Amino acid sequence: MGITLINNEISDRDFEVKEGEELTLNLAYFDAFKPCKINVKVHKNATLNAAFADFGKGKGKFEFNVYLEEEGANCNFHSACLASASDDKVFDTSVYHNAAHTSAIMSNYGITRDSSKLVFTGVSEIKKGSIATVTRQEAKIIVFDPDCKGACSPILKIDENDVSASHAATVGRLNEQHLFYLLSRGIDEQTAKRLITLGYLKPVEQYFDEEALRENIDKAIEEGI
Amino acid sequence: MSRLVIKNLHVSVKDKEILKGVNLTVEEGETVALLGMNGHGKSTLLGAIMGNPNYTVTSGSVKLDDVEILGLPVNERSKAGLFLAMQYPAEIPGVNSADFYKAAMNAHREKPMSLFQFYSSLQSAYKAMEIPFEMSQRNLNEGFSGGEKKRNEILQMKLLDPKITFLDEIDSGLDVDAMQIVAKAINEEQAKGKGFLVISHYARLYSMIHPTRAAVMVNGRIAVEGGPEIIKRIDTEGYEWIKTELGISLDKDEAPMNKVSIGVCATKEAALGGEKK
């Protein structure tokens, strides 16, 4: 099953993915950024594929909580976020492993520009008894301008031994050596920065089902950089 | 015929002077072997000419056909006809290889290529380098093996068709078969009359690409220049004879082998070490 929510359609919601089912949840902000809280419960052998493309303007916190309630529940969450002008956005994406043999990927990529602020936070929690659980958290932000701020603070809470958990968090300026590599092949600085930015934001498109929506995301990325 | 003339080049990394007055000329049609012990500035020379931000040129000049290269932005140096095949090519997350090649090739011409034109040159370059064409859809250098990255550098050289190419240890990480593929690609460019300045620690590569001249770098300067026989001599005798015959003493401020052993690492260390503090 697939659900697509865009702009105003996004609001505080609770979803449930029933036994053996698969839910694709595609979310995108193109105009105003609205604070909001979404909870998803995933049951036995069910899968949540969620993707969020955020080009919204504004301030606030977007909260996304996934509860893997029964054995074999999976979650794949991928987001790409552009913060510019005076945006001040917090993404709190958490996953709770409440059963054995559950797996989750929570991946957040962001770009901050101008005097904006962007924070990626969230907890990946593995309850006692949730054996053979796999969890991964990724949070990466490129800070483009001197006045903008980016912060990543993924948290792992693990109360079980037999698990595989990893996290990666990086916040940094555009890598000088990456830029040099591209420039040294004749590409001008603006195009090189564009390529690197695209490389950060564009991969999220593959998680969106609708062609038209992918095109809109493409356009928003092009306009944003 | 194009000519690269390096005159009295001084380069520092942070506040440490690495190049202390380099003079060297490379012409189209020549292949110059750049020899010298680790940490004496070979990689620094190539990186500085290409404009790597880790290096600061404090004085001197580098001219390609009377155009001062050091005054140009990095991308213009490439467009002027220089190409550096790097020792450690950067892995660029999310940047699709084919998109990157297209942007690079278009930067080198007035009008963008047609898609057909682009794909046919890309395909033939992949074929020549014996790299599976599917690799063109992967992210640039990301997760490539050492050998794949090096072949990928030569692939880009073929696509961009530079007048003078710098090869910084292109043979490290290559197995014998891959080395032959790379050497063949270099030979083809040599036959077209292109120029090369080549750093390698192994006689094997040199035996395949037949340098026309050799230059030995000691203490950040070119200490000896001559014919290809110098390569053989260094391969069999090492660098000791330079000390005794030319009366040059080697600077002792090199880090010991177990700490930092190769040139580019030494400069990397200097650059990164400074940031951490």
Contacts of B79 in chain A (CB under 8 A): 186
Q: What are the chain A neighbours of B108 within 8 Å (beta carbons)?
A: 186
- Total number of domains constituting chain A: 1
> Mean pLDDT, to the nearest integer, of A94-121?
95
| Residue A221 included in any domain | no
Q: Is the pLDDT of residue B266 over 90?
A: no
Q: Does the pLDDT of residue B259 top 80, yes or no?
A: no
How many Å apart are CA B22 and CA B13, to the nearest integer?
15
A202: contact with B, CB 8 A cutoff: yes
What's the pLDDT score for residue A32? 95
Q: Which residue of A has its CA nearest to B46?
A: A184
Cα Dmax for chain A: 56
| Calpha distance A3→A52 (Å, rounded) | 12
Contacts of A184 in chain B (CB under 8 A): 50-52, 74-75, 77-78, 83-84, 86
Given this model, what pLDDT does residue B274 score?
40
Q: pTM score, two decimals?
A: 0.80
In this structure, is residue A189 part of a structural domain?
no
Residue A204: φ, ψ to 5°: -65, -25
pLDDT-derived band at B251, boundaries 50, 70, 90: low
Helix (H, G, I), strand (E, B) or coil at B255: coil
pLDDT of B256 above 80: no
Q: Is residue A217 part of a domain?
A: no
Exposed (0-12), middle (13-18) or buried (19+): which is B210, by Cβ within 10 Å? middle
Chain B nearest-CA residue for A196 = B95
* Interface contact B74-A196, CB threshold 8 A: no
> What is the pLDDT, as a whole number, of residue B264?
43
Measured CA to CA, the distance from residue B33 to residue B198 in angstroms comes to 5
For residue A185, give the nearest of B73, B93, B156 by CB distance. B156
Mean pLDDT of chain B: 89
Asked if residues A30 and A56 have their Cβ atoms less than 8 Å apart, the reply is: yes
pLDDT tens by residue, A61-102: 999 999 999 999 999 999 999 999 999 999 999 999 999 999
Q: Where are the domains of chain B?
A: 3-271
Is A210 inside a domain boundary?
no
> pLDDT at position A197, please?
85
For B92, how many CA atoms within 13 A lie in the half-sphere containing its CB? 28
Check if the beta carbon of residue B87 is closer than 8 Å to that of residue B166: no
* A193 interaction partners in chain B (CB closer than 8 Å): none
Mean pLDDT of B230-241: 89
CB A162 within 8 A of CB A129: no
- Judge whether A188 is closer than 8 Å to chain B, CB to CB: yes
Record: contact B52-A200, CB cut-off 8 A: no
Mean pLDDT for all residues in chain A: 94
The answer to whether the beta carbons of residues A163 and A129 sit under 8 Å apart is no
Q: Which of A60-74, A211-225, B25-39 bottoms out in mean pLDDT, i.e. has the lowest?
A: A211-225
Cα torsion for B47, B78, B27, B122, to the nearest 10°?
110
Q: Over 80: is that where the pLDDT of B250 sits?
A: no
- Mean pLDDT for A134-163 is 92
| pLDDT tens, position by position, A198-208 | 888 988 999 99
- Does residue A220 belong to any structural domain of this protein? no
Domain that holds residue A117: 2-174
Range B230-234 average pLDDT: 92
Min Cα distance A192 → chain B (Å) is 9
Q: Is residue A126 part of a domain?
A: yes
Distance CA B222, CA B95 (A): 38
Residue A221, pLDDT > 80, answer yes
pLDDT digits (tens, 9 = 90+) for B16-29: 999 999 999 999 99
pLDDT, tens digit (0-9, with 9 covering 90-100), for A167-186: 888 898 888 899 999 999 99
Residue B61 has pLDDT above 60, yes or no: yes
B104/A186 touch (CB, cutoff 8 Å), yes or no: yes
Q: Which CATH number fits domain B3-271: 1.10.390.10, 3.40.50.300, 3.40.50.720, 1.10.150.120?
A: 3.40.50.300
The model's pLDDT over A149-159, given as tens digits with 9 standing for 90+, comes to 999 998 999 99
Task: Report, as an integer, the average pLDDT of B35-40.
Answer: 90
In a domain, A203, yes or no: no
Of all residues in chain A, the one with the smallest CA distance to B161 is A185
| Residue (of A62, A54, A59) closest to A7 by Cα position | A54
Spell out which residues of chain A touch residue B94, defining contact as CB-CB under 8 Å.
196, 198-200, 202-203
